[in-house]
Amino acid sequence: MKKIIIAGTGSGVGKTTISIGIMKALIDRGKSVQAFKIGPDYIDPSFHEYVTGRSSRNLDSYMLDDEQVKYVYRQASKRADISIIEGVMGLYDGLGTDINKHSTSKMAKTLKAPVILVVDAKAMGSSVAAMVLGYKQLDKDVEIVGVIANNVRTKRHFDIVKTSIEKYCALEVLGYIPPLEDIRLESRQLGLVPSGETEYIERKIDILGKLLEDYVDIDRIIELSESEAVTSNFELSMFIEDPDVQDLARGKKMAVAYDEAFNFYYDSNLELLEDIGVELEFFSPIEDETLPEADLVYIGGGFPEVFAAQLEANKSMRESIYKAYEANKPIYAECGGLMYLGEYMIDLEGNKHQMVGAIKGYSQMEKRLKRVGYCQATAKEDNLIAYKGQQICGHEFHYSSFHSDLEAAFDIEKIVNDQVIDRWEGGYFTRNTLASYLHIHFYNNLSLVCYLLSRA
pLDDT score, position 201? 78
Arithmetic mean of pLDDT, 197-212: 83
d(CA 229, CA 102) in angstroms, rounded, equals 21
* Nearest 10 degrees: Cα torsion 93, 8, 203, 57: -50
pLDDT in tens, 76-118: 999 999 999 999 999 999 988 999 999 999 999 999 999 999 9
What is the C-alpha separation between 59 and 66, in angstroms, rounded?
A: 10
Task: Tell me the DSSP string of 10-23.
Answer: STTSSHHHHHHHHH
**pLDDT, position 444:** 86
CB neighbours of residue 306 within 10 Å: 17
Cβ–Cβ under 8 Å, residues 404 and 427: no
Residue 189 reports pLDDT greater than 50? no
Going by C-beta distance under 8 Å and a sequence separation of 6 or more, which residues neighbour residue 286?
259, 260, 261, 307, 310, 311, 314
Would you state the pLDDT for residue 417? 83
Asked if 13 contacts 122 with a C-beta cutoff of 8 angstroms, the reply is no
Q: How many helices (H) and strands (E) does the chain have?
A: 15, 22
Residues in the chain, total: 456
pLDDT of residue 193: 60
pLDDT on residue 283 = 98
Per-residue model confidence as pLDDT tens digits over 319-366? 999 999 999 999 999 999 999 999 999 999 999 999 999 999 999 999
Q: How many CB atoms within 10 Å of residue 213?
A: 18
Domains of the chain (ranges plus CATH)? Answer: 3-224 (3.40.50.300), 238-454 (3.40.50.880)
Does 197 score more than 80 pLDDT? Answer: no
User: Minimal CA–CA distance to 240: which of 264, 268, 266?
Assistant: 268
Q: What is the mean pLDDT of residues 13-37?
A: 96
- Whole-number average pLDDT of the chain: 94
- Res 72: pLDDT: 96
Q: Does residue 265 have a pLDDT over 90?
A: yes
Question: What's the pLDDT at 18?
Answer: 96
Check residue 184 and give its pLDDT.
65
CA–CA gap between residue 146 and residue 7 (Å, rounded): 11
Q: What is the pLDDT of residues 381-425, one digit of tens each?
A: 999 999 999 999 999 999 999 999 999 999 999 988 888 999 999
pLDDT (0 to 100) of residue 435: 98
Q: How far is CA 196 from the centre of its chain?
A: 16
335 included as an active-site residue: yes
The confidence band for 203, taking pLDDT boundaries of 50, 70 and 90, is confident
Active-site residue (options: 335, 375, 393, 450): 335
- pLDDT of 445 reads 85
* pLDDT of the residue at 221: 98
pLDDT, residue 191, reads 45
Dihedral over Cα of 66, 72, 77, 78: its sign? positive
**Would you say residue 167 has pLDDT above 90?**
yes
| Three-class secondary structure of residue 137 per DSSP | helix
- Model's pTM, two decimal places? 0.92
> Is it the case that residue 160 has pLDDT exceeding 70?
yes
